[in-house]
Amino acid sequence: MTTNQRLSPGDTAPEFTLPDADGNNVSLAGYRGRKVIVYFYPAASTPGCTKEACDFRDNLADLDGAGIDVIGISPDKPAKLAKFRDAEQLSFPLLSDPDRSVLTAWGAYGEKTMYGKTVVGVIRSTFLVDEEGRIAVAQYNVRATGHVAKLRRDLSV
C-alpha cells in the first residue's frame, strides 16, 4: 500500500506547467499576486466532474470579484478538455496531466476507496493557493455536488 503525500496549509504549492485545452502551457507561477483555486478531478465529461466544473463556472464572477482565479486539472488529453470546455461553456483553464505527475505532487493521485474497494486513481481535491504561492486551503476527497458552495462559505465569498 502506498501513502499519499498530502499538502497542508502553509506548504509551498508544487509548481507546474501543463498544457491547457488548446495546447498552450499554463504555469502556476503565472498566478503570483492573485489567489487561485486549483482543483483536481478524475475525468472530463463525467457526471460528477461536469457538475463540479459547472458549479465553478456559475460562481466564477463572484470568485473573480474576490480576487480568486480557478484552474481545473485532470489526466485528460487537451482534445478531450477542449470538448468538455466547449460543451459546458467553461471559461477557466482546464489543464492536462496525463502522466499524473502534478496530481501526485499535490497528493491528488493515489489510493482511494470507491464502492468499498481500494483503487488507485484521481482523488477529487481542491486547494486555495495564496498570492505568494503557499497553500491556504487543502481539501481532499471532496464531493462534486455542493463543494463549490461550501468552499465559498469557507472563504466568505
| Active centre residues (catalytic) | 49
Report the distance separating Cα 135 and Cα 113, nearest Å.
25
Report which of 82, 74, 99, 65 is spatially closest to residue 24, judged by C-alpha positions. 82
Report the distance separating Cα 132 and Cα 90, nearest Å.
26
Helix axes of 47-65 and 78-88: crossing angle, nearest 10 degrees = 70
